[in-house]
């Protein structure tokens, strides 16, 4: 038997992350008591380091390593960069909140980093096995993070639900993958894709059977209807900083997972997955937008809004074209940015002993801090898809993709419910600007958070005014 | 390449300088104080004006080819490209000079007019921003940027109409402007969408190049109804122009807009923004020339507006409203010019109108300053004694507006009337009658206002009369400057503008050979002075003279005549006073009608249909459904898991068996 | 081995696994539940043996049955839960759930049945000879071909440890007795035994 040492270079960012996680684990154990901020600082350093290492890989040709189990292509690099960047902001926003709510700092950051590592593994997977392991490395820390607030019954309940449902979804995903494996005798995406394309329609029944299970797993991870049930409860029950995390970077990973599983490994079943995804997308858009209107809790409202957004994001995949995939990628990047900003605003409004979680809590924000109100306004406009905020381009892109794929009815449904959705985003704006605050004290936050939320809010508008660069990056992934 | 970069840099400077001014005045106005605010904005506008002049020199005098370039690609979405780009041709150059010139004077004038106002910096920021938007509009090389400028000027216009937002009428006026413009914009947007769908681009050059291929294309609006694509597109675009350029029946907002400060009325609601529709139609001339239906529509709507809104001007007693109705009427003239395919004549009238109408408004503003913001002419009289400079300025404006040779207005209006006379487009005869009668009306209301304000006896209160004096120099200097073009602009450029084979606008507007009336007219053109001499043979000239004469007779010689006429023909007066009922119509049909419809719907649809049938019938079904839905969102884990499995099952059944 | 015999063994073990799985969920007494789980593991170990994965089969029994299940039993017994409260939703949803179950099972049978997944489409894998060593094969790939997923699995275990500790460890409470290893190591012989010199019992002077 011959064996060559695999090429470790492409996986340098992941290896760096893992090493640093172990370092932080040890450092926090021995120094955590004395230097309170050590876990946070090292975490941010790790993310920056991994970002730079990934940046260094940018523009490298597509390369496989670890026996074709790990792939480093443009998609992987770009989404890793986005994930790392978003995670950096997430931890920055959470710092104050973690201290305030007395969550265990060390564990929080280590688990968070593990989740980031899981996302990186997931987006670089080129094999069912590594994809699944990446998914679990991503999910397991998230379950634990939801439950980190141990004295809160709601948080424990949310974590329990998330965990059990996640296990069920993992089971479904694995079952579906095993069907594909059974037919193709391979776990490798390209090999499976080859077999799937060559299978005659008469024998493809078993593939379709497996496909449905796989889609169920994907839809669960995204939080798309009808596999969305966990989303409102988990968003609501988790500590806000964890909600912030769950609602941002993992969405990117979920989209890449969908792309790898459906487009890369089952292109021969495009008709079938298009059909199922269409139903999922329409259900998500309708349900998300309609139910969000009735919410008075802003975390739940944003949860339903995220369900709707996932529906929109799927439209690009449904189109089944390169332009469509690019528009989905653009959508998820911008969505994670907006979602992050919105939850960050809730974090900043929270004080010790008080969690901002109802829409009422934003009343009169304009008079309490006009700048934050403006940033929130930009983010809400963007989520509603009002030009010139970036959300407009995100929606325009996916809608154009489905129209070009001759699915105009889908675009019309999506558009109608986008207008319905605009209502509840604008209600937030109305509450901030036209209602009188119940608590008139000024809202303040540390300098780094203020800078971050400013960058976040202005990026929403700047990317809307100059979207070409990011759109170009996303298109380059699929066309270049 | 070198020439291009010169034009590129010049136009970029021209457009961005006012924006910089707006930013400085808007964000740092309080910091740098009033004086520096107007210094900075005026200086930047001078830069912009200088650029505009230099661009015009390069293009028109030096014959440099026009520049069409992309500044920045905003978004590249699939097959559509959204660009920010400049098309700098002769039309743009002419418009650029007009806009920056009037804007510069209004800036200077505002130093005096707004001196006492609290929102001084805000005001300067707005008017600079307006100039930027207007320049974006005229320099656009694609429809999207045109639309951006279009909405931008609209936005600033509402802000400025409602500038004195504590006035109830100001808010109402701004709302009215907003709603009337929404109707127009809807048409405009649909027009852009139609172009985007069928031409696959929003770039002018590509649209014009392809337009010939679509002359036979029809679109099915309703099943069985096929309309010519170009006609539909042109009509939709023209609806947009009707909103912005206040053509009947979307004109109702313009008189209300007089609630804004007077410099704004001069800049936005006379000289620049309201002419955006005229500019757009001229810009789109390659499309309009392909559709006779569209040209006829432009012609008829313009002509009706020119005559009938002019008549309304005769009975107004508010000095600004007189000028406002006169603007409506003159906009009608411009549209008539465009409809008769004399695009150069329309744009020419736009330019002369910009100078003499700005002059009239600013003179009126000067009077209003003197009168301490009383705008009612019935309280004025004999002001010539106290404000000689304003008096002369207003007189020049009125003469120019009334098309008395050799003032500027004469050349442009005469050209339009001639063009309509020669035009073979259906409806031209009707339009001709309207514009000739309009000439009489124009002279009548201008000189009525002139006599009532500056002659006759003083009717103002004694206290006011004592303090009546000429306005400060920052106010009258712009008047004096504006007097110059109001007199000589016509004689100076009428020849090169209209009749030269290589006219000023050159190929930036397109006229189909069969409609080219200006070419015929060029044969009769023997220079500016012989035009004056020949004018006595035209009916329009005598109409104008008659108008002045009637005004003189009824307000100076027989001051009781107007009262007598009003009483004798009270029904006419009533119709005019109700403004032909447009406002009442809108109020009753749209405002009350909507409420009525709502009530009726509530009574019959809601109570009967929904309550009786829907709620009691399928209501139980809905209730059951919502109960079931609530149960699945129970918060219980097994419910959630079960929902997942059910979803999975449905998909499986569908794909495997379906 | 004869195919028929192999089939009999397979169905016996497979049936046992499914049945035991059902019992795990159905019985009320948690101790019985854990015991049923033990049966399920043993039966699946049998299935693995059938697939010539002897090493995995044995590990399953050693680790899961021998260690994990014993731990479960300890926990269940220590918590002293006799019977779980009845699950109200269980009965309410039973008809619908049974229908869904039947539908999914029917579809599985339909799809994975011989007409789609039978020997006609997919050849029967060849049996290995007597010299085939499962352990050797595993050993060969674990650190070579599969090193990446193997390491990831290790990461997963690390996460599980950290998560479990961070969720259950609530810091040292006052009054609990625990070892102090440093103190244990630092101990000197002198600390272990204290020699008390005592004067021998004086002679009684009589």
Residue C12 lies in a domain: yes
Looking at the partner chain, which of B640, B647, B655 has a beta carbon nearest the beta carbon of A230? B640
Cα C188 to Cα B174, C178, C191: the distances in Å are 94, 20, 5
Give the burial string for B35-54 (b: 16+ CB within 10 Å, else e): eebbebbbebbebbbbbbbb
pLDDT of residue A385: 86
Please state whether the peptide bond connecting residue B407 to the residue before it is cis, i.e. omega within 30 degrees of 0.
no
Cα B447 to Cα B407, B414, B551, B552, C172: the distances in Å are 15, 19, 6, 7, 99
Mean pLDDT to the nearest integer, A93-109: 89
Rounded Cα distance between B147 and B140, Å, is 9
Structural domain harbouring C140? 133-163
pLDDT of residue B607: 52
Rounded Cα distance between B359 and B381, Å, is 20
**pLDDT digit string, tens, across residues A178-226:** 989 988 889 999 999 998 888 877 678 888 999 999 999 999 999 998 8
Secondary structure (H, E, C), B565-619: HHHHCHHHHHHHHCHHHHHHHHHHHHHHHHHHHHHHHHHHHHHHHHHHHHHHHHH
CB-based contact B153:B133 (threshold 8 Å)? yes
Residue B76: which of A82, A318, A393, A391 has the closest Cα?
A393
Is the Cβ of A383 closer than 8 Å to some Cβ of chain C?
no
pLDDT of residue B373: 75
In angstroms, the separation between the Cα of residue C104 and the nearest Cα of chain B is: 7
pLDDT of residue A136: 95
Count the neighbouring beta carbons within 10 Å of the beta carbon of residue B56. 19
More confident residue, C120 or B45: B45
Q: How do strand B225-228 and strand A63-65 relate by DSSP bridges?
A: unpaired
Cα A123 to Cα A88, A141, A251: the distances in Å are 18, 17, 11
Q: Do B636 and C89 touch (CB under 8 A)?
A: yes
Domain count, chain C: 3
Mark whether C103 and C35 lie in a shared domain: no
Question: Which residues does C45 contact at the CB level (< 8 Å), separation at least 6?
Answer: C57, C58, C60, C61, C65
Looking at the partner chain, which of C87, C90, C100 has a beta carbon nearest the beta carbon of B649? C100
Residue C205 lies in a domain: no
Q: Do B656 and C111 touch (CB under 8 A)?
A: yes
Count the neighbouring beta carbons within 10 Å of the beta carbon of residue B189. 17
Q: Do B644 and A227 touch (CB under 8 A)?
A: yes
Mark whether C81 and C99 lie in a shared domain: no
Burial of B281 (0-12, 13-18, 19+ CB in 10 A): buried
Q: How far separated are the first and last CA of chain A, in Å rounded?
A: 39
Q: Do C93 and B642 touch (CB under 8 A)?
A: yes
Structural domain harbouring A456? 9-479
pLDDT of residue B209: 83
In angstroms, the separation between the Cα of residue A158 and the nearest Cα of chain C is: 14
Residue C200 lies in a domain: no
Residue A3 lies in a domain: no
pLDDT of residue B230: 84
Is the Cβ of C97 closer than 8 Å to some Cβ of chain B?
yes
Does A107 score more than 80 pLDDT? yes
Looking at the partner chain, which of C145, C153, C163 has a beta carbon nearest the beta carbon of A141? C163
Mean pLDDT to the nearest integer, C13-27: 92
Residue C107: its chain B contacts at CB < 8 A?
Answer: 652-653, 656
**Sole residue written with tokens 């027009």:** B191
pLDDT of residue B615: 45
Angle between helices A153-184 and A205-222 (to 10 degrees): 160
**Sole residue written with tokens 């141990």:** A150
Q: Which residue of B has its CA nearest to C89?
A: B638
Rounded Cα distance between B328 and A50, Å, is 66
Residue B170: which of B107, B30, B29, B264 has the closest Cα?
B264
pLDDT of residue A469: 86
Rounded Cα distance between B547 and B440, Å, is 5
pLDDT of residue B622: 40
In angstroms, the separation between the Cα of residue A158 and the nearest Cα of chain B is: 9
Mark whether C11 and C79 lie in a shared domain: yes
Rounded Cα distance between B336 and B539, Å, is 18
- C125: Cα within 13 Å, side-chain hemisphere: 8
- A336: Cα within 13 Å, side-chain hemisphere: 26
> Tell me, what DSSP letter sits at residue B222?
E
More confident residue, A75 or C134: A75
Is the Cβ of B5 closer than 8 Å to some Cβ of chain A?
no
Q: For residue C193, what are the β-bridge partners?
A: none
Is the Cβ of A148 closer than 8 Å to some Cβ of chain C?
yes
In angstroms, the separation between the Cα of residue C149 and the nearest Cα of chain A is: 6
**pLDDT digit string, tens, across residues A342-400:** 999 999 888 777 888 888 888 888 778 888 888 999 999 899 888 778 998 899 889 88
> Tell me, what DSSP letter sits at residue B535?
G
pLDDT of residue C193: 79
Whether the CA torsion B179, B184, B186, B189 is positive or negative: it is negative
B interface test, pick of A143, A212, A387 with most B CB neighbours within 10 Å: A212
pTM: 0.67
CB-based contact A421:A308 (threshold 8 Å)? yes
Residue A1 lies in a domain: no
Q: Do A206 and C160 touch (CB under 8 A)?
A: no
Q: Which parts of chain B have pLDDT scores under 50? A: 1, 610, 614-615, 617-619, 621-623, 625-627, 630
Burial of A12 (0-12, 13-18, 19+ CB in 10 A): middle
Rounded Cα distance between C193 and C182, Å, is 19
Residue A2 lies in a domain: no
CB-based contact B298:B238 (threshold 8 Å)? yes
Q: Please report which confidence band the pLDDT of residue A88 belongs to, taking 50, 70 and 90 as the band edges.
A: very high
Question: Which residues does B496 contact at the CB level (< 8 Å), separation at least 6?
Answer: B503, B504
Does C178 score more than 70 pLDDT? yes
Gyration radius of chain B over CA positions: 28
Rounded Cα distance between B449 and B313, Å, is 9
Average of per-residue pLDDT values in chain A: 90
Mean pLDDT to the nearest integer, A284-290: 85
Domain count, chain A: 1
pLDDT of residue A20: 95
CB-based contact B154:B103 (threshold 8 Å)? no
Question: Which residues does B606 contact at the CB level (< 8 Å), separation at least 6?
Answer: none
Q: Do A215 and B73 touch (CB under 8 A)?
A: no
Q: Do B644 and A164 touch (CB under 8 A)?
A: no
Question: Which residues does A67 contact at the CB level (< 8 Å), separation at least 6?
Answer: A6, C145, C146, C148
Residue C170 has which token pair? 């609530």
Cα A305 to Cα A234, A278, B19, B653: the distances in Å are 14, 18, 37, 29
Mark whether C10 and C65 lie in a shared domain: yes
Q: Do C104 and B652 touch (CB under 8 A)?
A: yes
Residue A55 lies in a domain: yes
Residue B114: which of B389, B362, B470 has the closest Cα?
B362
**pLDDT digit string, tens, across residues C28-76:** 888 888 999 999 999 999 999 888 888 999 999 999 888 888 888 888 8
Is the Cβ of A393 closer than 8 Å to some Cβ of chain B?
yes
pLDDT of residue B580: 67
Structural domain boundaries in chain B: 291-575, 581-657
Using CA atoms of B327, B332, B333, B335 in order, give the dihedral in degrees to the nearest 10. 130
């Amino acid at each position: 038997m011959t064996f060559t040492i695999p090429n470790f270079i492409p996986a340098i960012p992941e290896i760096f992350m893992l090493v640093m996680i172990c370092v932080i684990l040890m450092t926090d154990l021995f120094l955590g008591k004395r230097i309170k901020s050590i876990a946070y600082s090292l975490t941010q350093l790790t993310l920056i380091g991994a970002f730079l290492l990934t940046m260094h890989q940018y523009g490298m040709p597509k390369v496989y390593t670890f026996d074709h189990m790990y792939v480093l292509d443009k998609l992987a690099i770009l989404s890793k960069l986005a994930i790392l960047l978003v995670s950096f902001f997430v931890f920055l926003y959470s710092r104050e909140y973690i201290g305030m709510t007395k969550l265990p700092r060390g564990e929080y950051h280590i688990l968070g980093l593990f989740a980031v590592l899981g996302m990186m593994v997931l987006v670089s997977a080129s094999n069912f096995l590594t994809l699944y392991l990446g998914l679990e490395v991503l999910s397991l820390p998230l379950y634990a993070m939801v439950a980190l607030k141990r004295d809160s019954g709601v948080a424990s309940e949310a974590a329990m639900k998330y965990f059990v449902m996640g296990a069920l979804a993992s089971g479904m995903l694995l079952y579906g993958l095993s069907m594909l494996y059974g037919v193709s005798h391979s776990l490798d995406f390209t090999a499976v894709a080859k077999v799937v394309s060559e299978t005659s329609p008469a024998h493809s029944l078993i593939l379709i059977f497996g496909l449905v299970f796989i889609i169920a797993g994907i839809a669960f991870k995204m939080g798309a209807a009808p596999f969305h049930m966990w989303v409102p409860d988990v968003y609501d029950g988790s500590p806000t900083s964890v909600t912030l995390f769950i609602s941002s970077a993992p969405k990117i990973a979920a989209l890449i997972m969908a792309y790898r599983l459906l487009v890369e490994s089952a292109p021969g079943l495009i008709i079938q997955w298009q059909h199922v995804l269409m139903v999922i997308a329409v259900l998500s858009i309708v349900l998300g937008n309609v139910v969000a209107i009735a919410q008075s809790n802003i975390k739940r409202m944003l949860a339903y809004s995220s369900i709707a957004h996932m529906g929109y994001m799927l439209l690009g995949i449904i189109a089944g074209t390169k332009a469509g995939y690019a528009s989905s990628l653009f959508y998820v990047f911008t969505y994670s940015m907006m979602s992050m900003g919105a939850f960050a605003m809730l974090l900043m409004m929270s004080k010790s002993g008080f969690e901002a979680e109802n829409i009422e809590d934003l009343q009169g924000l304009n008079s309490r801090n006009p700048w934050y109100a403006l940033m929130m306004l930009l983010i809400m406009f963007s989520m509603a898809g009002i030009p010139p905020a970036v959300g407009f381009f995100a929606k325009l892109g996916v809608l154009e993709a489905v129209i070009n794929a001759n699915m105009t009815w889908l675009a019309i449904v999506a558009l109608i419910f986008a207008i319905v959705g605009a209502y509840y985003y604008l209600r937030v704006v109305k509450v901030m600007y036209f209602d009188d605050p119940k608590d008139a004290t000024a809202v303040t936050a540390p300098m780094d958070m203020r800078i971050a939320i400013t960058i976040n809010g202005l990026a929403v508008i700047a990317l809307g005014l100059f979207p070409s660069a990011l759109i170009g990056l996303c298109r380059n992934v699929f066309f270049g | 390449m070198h020439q291009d970069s010169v034009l590129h840099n010049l136009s970029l400077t021209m457009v961005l300088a006012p924006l910089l001014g707006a930013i400085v005045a808007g964000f740092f106005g309080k910091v740098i104080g009033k004086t520096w605010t107007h210094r900075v904005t005026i200086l930047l506008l001078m830069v912009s004006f200088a650029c505009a002049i230099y661009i015009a020199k390069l293009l028109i005098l030096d014959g440099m080819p026009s520049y069409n370039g992309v500044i920045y690609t905003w978004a590249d979405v699939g097959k559509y490209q959204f660009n920010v780009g400049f098309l700098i041709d002769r039309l743009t150059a002419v418009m650029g000079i007009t806009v920056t010139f009037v804007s510069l004077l209004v800036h200077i004038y505002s130093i005096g007019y707004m001196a006492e106002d609290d929102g001084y910096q805000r005001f300067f920021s707005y008017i600079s921003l307006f100039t930027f938007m207007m320049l974006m509009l005229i320099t656009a090389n694609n429809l999207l940027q045109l639309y951006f400028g279009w909405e931008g000027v609209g936005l600033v216009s509402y802000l400025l109409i409602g500038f004195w937002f504590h006035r109830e009428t100001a808010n109402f006026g701004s709302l009215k402007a907003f709603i009337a413009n929404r109707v127009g914009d809807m048409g405009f947007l649909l027009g852009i969408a139609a172009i985007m769908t069928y031409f696959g681009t929003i770039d002018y050059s590509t649209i014009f190049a392809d337009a010939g291929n679509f002359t036979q294309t029809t679109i099915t609006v309703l099943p069985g109804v096929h309309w010519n694509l170009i006609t539909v597109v042109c009509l939709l675009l023209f609806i947009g122009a009707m909103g912005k350029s206040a053509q009947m029946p979307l004109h109702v907002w313009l008189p209300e807009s007089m609630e804004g400060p007077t410099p704004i009325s001069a800049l936005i609601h006379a000289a620049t923004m309201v002419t955006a529709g005229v500019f757009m139609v001229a810009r789109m001339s390659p499309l309009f020339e392909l559709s006779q239906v569209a040209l006829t529509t432009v012609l008829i709507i313009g002509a009706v507006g020119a005559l009938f809104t002019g008549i309304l001007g005769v009975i107004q007693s508010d000095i600004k409203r007189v000028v406002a109705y006169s603007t409506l009427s003159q906009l009608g003239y411009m549209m008539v010019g465009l409809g008769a395919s004399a695009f150069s004549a329309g744009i020419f009238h736009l330019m002369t109108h910009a100078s003499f109408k700005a002059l009239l408004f600013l003179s009126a503003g000067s009077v209003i300053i003197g009168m301490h913001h009383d705008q009612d002419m019935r309280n004025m009289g004999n002001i010539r004694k106290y404000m000689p400079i304003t008096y002369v300025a207003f007189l020049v404006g009125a003469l120019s507006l009334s098309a008395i040779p050799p003032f500027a207005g004469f050349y442009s209006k005469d050209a339009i009337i001639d063009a309509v006379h020669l035009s073979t487009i259906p409806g031209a005869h009707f339009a001709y009658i309207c514009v000739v009668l309009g000439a009489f009306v124009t002279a009548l209301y201008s000189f009525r206002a002139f006599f009532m304000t500056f002659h006759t006896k003083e009717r103002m209160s004694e206290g006011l009369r004592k303090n009546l004096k000429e306005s400060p120099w920052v106010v009258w200097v712009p008047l004096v400057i504006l007097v110059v073009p109001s007199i000589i602009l016509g004689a100076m450029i009428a020849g090169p503008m209209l009749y030269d084979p290589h006219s000023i606008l050159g190929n930036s507007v397109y006229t189909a050979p069969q409609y080219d009336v200006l070419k015929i007219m060029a044969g009769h053109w023997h220079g500016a002075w012989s035009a004056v001499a020949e004018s006595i043979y035209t009916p329009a000239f005598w109409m104008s003279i008659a108008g002045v004469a009637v005004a003189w007779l009824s307000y100076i010689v027989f001051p009781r005549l107007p009262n007598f006429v009003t009483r004798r023909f009270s029904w006419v007066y009533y119709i005019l006073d109700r403004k032909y009922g447009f406002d009442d119509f809108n109020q009753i049909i749209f405002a009350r009608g909507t409420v009525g419809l709502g009530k009726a719907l509530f009574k019959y649809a809601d109570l009967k249909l929904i309550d009786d049938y829907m709620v009691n019938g399928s209501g139980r079904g809905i209730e059951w459904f919502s109960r079931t839905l609530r149960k699945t969102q129970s918060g219980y884990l097994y419910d959630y898991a079960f929902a997942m499995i059910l979803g999975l099952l449905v998909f499986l059944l569908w794909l495997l068996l379906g | 081995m004869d195919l028929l015999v192999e089939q009999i063994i397979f169905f016996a073990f497979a049936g046992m696994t499914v049945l035991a799985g059902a019992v795990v969920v159905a019985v009320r007494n948690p101790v019985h539940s854990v015991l049923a789980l033990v049966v399920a593991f043993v039966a699946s170990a049998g299935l693995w043996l059938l697939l010539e994965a002897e090493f995995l089969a044995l590990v399953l029994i050693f680790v899961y049955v021998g260690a994990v299940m014993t731990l479960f039993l300890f926990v269940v017994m220590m918590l002293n839960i006799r019977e779980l409260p009845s699950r109200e939703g269980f009965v309410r949803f039973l008809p619908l759930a049974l229908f869904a179950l039947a539908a999914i099972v029917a579809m599985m049978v339909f799809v994975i049945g011989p007409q789609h997944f039978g020997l006609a489409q997919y050849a029967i894998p060849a049996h290995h000879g007597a010299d085939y060593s499962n352990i050797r094969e595993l050993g060969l790939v674990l650190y070579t071909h599969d090193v990446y997923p193997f390491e990831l699995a290790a990461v997963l275990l690390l996460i599980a440890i950290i998560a479990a500790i961070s969720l259950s460890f609530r810091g040292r409470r006052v009054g609990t007795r625990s070892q102090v290893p440093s103190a244990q190591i630092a101990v000197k012989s002198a600390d272990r035994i204290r020699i008390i010199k005592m004067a021998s019992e004086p002679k009684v002077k009589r």
